[in-house]
Amino acid sequence: MRVLVTGGAGFIGSHVVEALTAHGHEPVVYDIRTDPGSDVRDPEAVRRALTGVDAVCHQAAMVGLGTGFTDAAEYVSRNDLGTAVLLTAMADAGVRRLVLAGSMVVYGEGRYECERHGVVRPGPRAVADLEAGRFEPPCPVCGADLAPGLVTEDAPADPRNVYATTKLAQEHLAAAWARATGGTAVSLRYHNVYGPGMPRDTPYAGVASFFRSALARGEAPRVFEDGRQRRDFVHVRDVAAANVAALEASPAAGALTAYNTGSGDPHTVGEMAHALAAAYGGPEPVVTGQYRLGDVRHITADSARLRTELGWKAEVGFEAGMREFAEAGMRTA
């Protein structure tokens, strides 16, 4: 299969290219990093790139929190306009297979259960609570403590920032394209991806990058809140393998199918910082109590659908992955 990989020179995209090659496919890299003319917002360039292509693996995106609105137009342009241009060109070219780099950020907060009120959906955390160190969201009905759990793909979407909103819009665009063309569309909702080749010293790379970059400078990783916020850290090679599995699968035509893409082994941010510092041999993490508006408290995946329907499973364990990441090189962008 000849596969156009948008963002194919980036962190995740480059691993997807390697995985496709290893499975006998022919990846075609389309990335503005290596060719300034490879912009997904350029209809002519995209049309040329689709020549002879059987499928598209759409990794190109502007990533990060996008908590304010300073960069809102740029996020929408790169993520949503770019996706619309790509899908329009695919419709014209007769390319009917798409795998989209989705994100767990479309859920907002994760799944919570109250002893009295069952499954509830807390709203955004109040600044006053964060300032006072009250990081756990309370039950929106009675104010009681909540128990976090795994979120499934049928959970309602609740994007909490600009980036999350654009990722959800990408899914809606892909679903509309699939209905209009009879194509197959899969969104892999990535959780916290880490691994070799991760960008360093950039606000868009994620917490694992910040911690690894700090250790490389001889500094202690700075952990926000109390370090007990839960995430699912999934290795980039496992994410690349999920892309190959999705491209080789036969999902329902005329619709978009979403799959959580996580390790299935949740850890706290503090645990990740300690594991990485121990593997690197650097300073112990420092818990700062600081916070970022737009961050959610707990978000962890139930990836059972991906395992069951596509036969995929995460192969890189947490400890082994952190040891490798501690020794691996990082990129500048």
User: Rounded distance, CA 184 to CA 255, Å?
Assistant: 6
The torsion of the CA quartet 149, 315, 319, 220, rounded to 10 degrees, works out to -80
332 burial class (0-12, 13-18, 19+ CB within 10 angstroms)? exposed
Do strands 26-30 and 97-103 pair parallel, antiparallel, or not at all (unpaired)?
Answer: unpaired
- The CA radius of gyration of the chain, in Å to the nearest whole number, is 20
Integer distance in angstroms from the first to the last C-alpha of the chain?
29
Q: What percent of the chain is helix, strand and coil (3-state, nearest 5)?
A: 35, 20, 45
Tokens standing for residue 16 = 């997807």
Question: Residue 163 catalytic?
Answer: yes
Q: How many residues does the chain have?
A: 333
Q: Of 20, 27, 24, nearest to 3 (Cα)?
A: 27
Catalytic residue among 75, 107, 112, 163: 163
Torsional class of 225: left (φ above 0), alpha (ψ -120 to 50), beta (otherwise): left
- The residue behind tokens 């600009």 is 162
The SS3 call for residue 6 is strand
Torsion of CA 159, 269, 263, 317, to 10 degrees: 160
Distance separating alpha carbons of residues 303 and 301, to the nearest angstrom? 6
Active site positions, annotated: 163
